[in-house]
């Protein structure tokens, strides 16, 4: 029987999938939640572990979240060592060109989904010594980049939520952290972007496995913000010093090139 328990949203692909695999290897019981049932079934068959629970979850639906957490708590006997709010979607394009409904969908999944997760699982976190709530923010949560306006807004919000709750949750021995990934090697990175990425520096392509390793480090160490790669912390300092210069530097050297109309 596993002695540690992790609940992962967006767990059936990309960064979430890599985290599922690593924590299973470490002997944890893993709850893998995703809206994509086909990916869940494939992953469950591939891993074939008694320490893995795969369930469909729409993170924007609070009642569904409550049902999943209730089922999980019966297995874990009320424990939750890590809640990993990882589910998210991206957008691309000029703000006014995106359908209004697309903006709302990004907000509902990337921000409301995180709030739903924390609100629903907070009692399990409270009842587990040294528990960790870790949320996926983004390098666009450090500085707003063009063509990602509402996505960037949600990731700034997740970063702010993390900082606030890291102070609040100290009163019941729960740590709150976030991961701020740069360019991660997932299917969301198209071939056109891949061709323009540098081989080194903060905008180099990083494997999903590095995110999984960072989640484990975040449980073992006490830090609020985790930059992947670590070079991205220098961007944080650039933004504090002069956000306009930092923004223009990212636009000229980063993966999000600003198109002309």
**Active site positions, annotated:** 151
Q: Please state the φ and ψ torsions of residue 72, each to the nearest 5 degrees.
A: -65, -40
Q: How far apart are CA 137 and CA 213, in angstroms?
A: 16
The first and second tokens of residue 244, run together, are: 């306009």
Instruction: Please give the DSSP secondary-structure letter assigned to residue 112.
Output: I
Token duo for residue 16:
């979430």
Structure-token pair, residue 1? 């029987």
Rounded distance, CA 212 to CA 202, Å? 18
User: Sign of the CA dihedral 120, 12, 212, 30?
Assistant: positive
- For the chain, what's the residue count? 261
User: CB–CB of 200/182 below 8 Å?
Assistant: no
Give bridge partners of residue 7 from the DSSP assignment. Answer: 31, 83
DSSP assignment letter at 188 = T
Question: Residue 57: which of 29, 83, 18 has the closest Cα?
Answer: 83
Q: Which CA distances in Å does 206 have to 101, 151, 220?
A: 31, 20, 22
Nearest to 141 by CA among 153, 156, 154: 156
On whether the CB atoms of residues 158 and 111 are closer than 8 A, the answer is yes
């Amino acid at each position: 029987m596993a002695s540690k328990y992790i609940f992962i949203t967006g767990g059936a692909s990309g960064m979430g999938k890599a985290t599922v695999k690593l924590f299973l290897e470490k002997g944890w019981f893993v709850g893998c939640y995703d809206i994509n049932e086909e990916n869940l079934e494939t992953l469950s068959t591939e891993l074939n572990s008694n320490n893995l629970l795969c369930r469909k979850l729409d993170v924007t639906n609070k009642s569904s979240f409550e049902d999943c957490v209730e089922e999980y708590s019966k297995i874990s006997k009320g424990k939750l060592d890590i809640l990993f709010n990882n589910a998210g979607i991206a957008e691309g394009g000029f703000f006014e060109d995106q359908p209004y409904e697309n903006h709302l969908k990004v907000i509902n999944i990337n921000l409301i989904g995180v709030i739903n997760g924390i609100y629903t699982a907070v009692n399990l976190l409270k009842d587990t010594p040294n528990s960790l709530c870790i949320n996926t923010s983004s390098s666009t949560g450090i500085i707003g980049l063009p063509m990602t306006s509402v996505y960037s807004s949600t990731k700034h919000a997740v970063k702010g939520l993390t900082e606030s709750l890291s102070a609040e949750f100290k009163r019941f021995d729960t740590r709150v952290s976030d991961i701020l990934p740069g360019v991660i090697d997932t299917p969301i990175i198209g071939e056109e972007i891949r061709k323009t990425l540098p081989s080194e520096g903060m905008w180099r392509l990083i494997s999903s496995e590095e995110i999984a390793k960072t989640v484990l480090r975040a449980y073992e160490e006490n830090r609020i913000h985790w930059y992947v790669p670590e070079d991205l912390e220098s961007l944080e300092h650039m933004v504090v010093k002069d956000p306009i210069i930092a923004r223009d530097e990212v636009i000229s050297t980063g993966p999000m090139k600003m198109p002309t109309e």
